[in-house]
Amino acid sequence: MTPQRGCIRSPGKFIRETTNVMAGKNSGSCQCGSVRYEVPQDMKNAGKCHCLMCQKSTGSGSSTVVFYDINDLKVTGETKTYTYTSDRGNAVTSHFCPKCGTKLFLTGDTGFPGLALVLAGTLDDNSNVKPQFVVFDKRRPAWDSDDPSIPHFAEMPPG
């Protein structure tokens, strides 16, 4: 087995390389490593969405995103964008790697102004991500489950 980018081969195991992460920061990347980003270690919030666009864009039953101030997201490498209209009528822009297609984060001037919603699975260390709410629960596939102890909204709540 060949080590993946960002890993160091050690006899019998792989060790995550952490020398590029500054204290108080977290980093992430696309699958191929052409696009990398850095965000604060502390996130504003995290949530899970079951809307049809999240299902289509992830190929799963939901998308888990982590909220950061847009000015705290530092991206290295070129991203391409795709803008669509959400169920609430807001323009949402998906930022992805043009080489491997990994969706990295979302922005939206009207739906969530001033925020970048980073896809949790693209973080190098997502062990502290704990969704605080679920939206579009009415569209959750029966085979996908969520933490029943957090708030669930049938659609996107107002505000």
Q: Where are the domains of the chain?
A: 25-139
Multiple choice CATH, 25-139, 3.20.20.80, 2.170.150.70, 3.40.50.150, 3.30.70.270: 2.170.150.70
Give tens-digit pLDDT for 9-18: 223 332 223 3
Q: How confident is the model at residue 35 (pLDDT cuts 50, 70, 90)?
A: very high
Contact 119, 108 (CB under 8 A): no
Secondary structure (3-state) at 62: coil
Which of 12-16, 30-34, 76-80, 124-128 has the weakest average pLDDT? 12-16
Contact 15, 8 (CB under 8 A): yes
CA distance 34 to 19: 18
Contact 151, 133 (CB under 8 A): yes
Give tens-digit pLDDT for 73-123: 999 999 999 999 988 888 999 999 999 999 999 999 888 899 999 999 999
